[in-house]
A and B are shown apart, each in its own frame.
Chain A
Amino acid sequence: MIWQQFLSLAGSYPLALRGLGMTVMLSLISLVLGTALGFGLGILRTGGNRLAASVIGAWVDLIRGTPFLVQIFLIFFILPELGIELDAFTAGIIALTNLAACFICEIVAAGIRSVPTGQVEAALASGLSRWQRMRQVVLPQAMRIVLPPLVGQYVLLIKDSSVVSAIGLTDLTRVGWLVVQRVPNGLLVFFLVGVGYFIVCYPLIMLARRLERRMGAAHGEVQL
């Protein structure tokens, strides 16, 4: 009985691999795009331009205040009404990238704000340009604060990518959902799905923890 189920599960391993591939690809593309966009937004948010900062702040709040599932539905069902045709994959990438960018923007902004003003003033006094200041003085120091939560954010992104199965993308979660219709053993099927995510996410969680410890120590925080 169990053995038969194992056999029929083994038969659907190409599907599972495709699902895992889809999950990894979705996460990877939106991770890269979201990081780039998030850093840009974070720098803009802490820059001098008040208008840009408050527009970004409002957008980040909108995204943080609504469930990701609702965001996906909004993008997938409403953009076509505005005349923008898109398939489920593009909609998923847009939604995930936007989500990642908003959270990373806040992380980067917090990191930049943590750099003492004296550093910026010193850089200014040394005649560094705006871009040099950011690239050579502020960002390298901000990275200490940014890096641990950034990696943690990647884990969240991979997990959130499971929600795009709701618009029919065949990612790992969707594969589990499809397989369970055929092999009625939800415990086993979704345990295996969980294992798939665990393999991808757990090393990142470990990395985040290690970075947190390392950066905390490097920061010279005194443990009382």
Chain B
Amino acid sequence: MTVEWIPFLTLLGTLALIYSLLALGLNLHYGYTGLLNFGHVAFFAAGAFASALATLPPPGSAAYQELGARYQIGFGWPLPVGMALAAVAGGALALLIGATSVRLTSHYLAIATFAMAEIFHSFLSNEEWLTQGVYGISVVPQPLKGTVIPVSQYPYFYLLFTAITVFALLFLTQRLTESPFGRVLRGVREDELAARSLGKNTPRVKLQAFTLGGALAGIAGSLWVHFIGAVHVGQFVPLITFQVWLAVLMGGAGNNLGVVFGAFILVAFRESTRFLNNIPLLDRFTAANPTFVPSLRFVIIGLLLVAIIRFFPDGVLPERHRKAIGTRQDRRLS
């Protein structure tokens, strides 16, 4: 059989779009508002589970029997409802976490969000009645698959669906960040004290940004879960958060289009390193130690992170310079 690049690239494209949405959310937190969120994966997980539970056929229904499943909650609602609930779940969790921690200063915020994501992960692993714990649910509906859209065409359909969703949200996010609200966010980021002295309720503004970013990550969770057709807490590990950070930093924090682009670079890079074994010399190492080359991939990802921060602190598409924000040099990375 031939090499089918197109189906493979379709898959990667869909995944990159989903990561784009995660990056857009984190960009609202960090890029625009300067909040160090190290628990982004929790919002992703909240959205994924919310959407899965909303759309799964109810226990006891005929569809449930047919799947031979054993989950305990399912509402059988259509996908748009699942996506809306995912946004609500991601946003609500962000609101909850944000309410306790957005007032913390940078390092404390980073660790507090990291810790909250772990608590949430613990919750998802343990509350089996809700999530099936570490056993996971592998029968999440993929709407229209096999009925309206043939199985072989489904990946293209889903790519299109994801693309429309993500670009619509990109457009909305861009509108938001270019609005007066966006200016307040950047004001908080650059100098919170100044923003406050101008009469802005900065904790409230931060909380709003945190919630919106969480909602975007929640929608990403919904797109992800119906894309994979399974949901499992094993997916929602801190590594995901760091990958989204990498996408934001590579693309250019504070630039919505930049971080979307960053997510594409991330996925391209992550997946192209799967081909490392094809490099003639390296496959010898695999013969001696099968984990050599796969671990090398992660060494390279680590080096990439280090190199980007050191040599290309503004990313591929840096934030555009805005004269209205005063003359101070960008305080973040230079």
A and B, one complex? no
Give me the interface of B with A, judged by CB distance under 8 Å: none
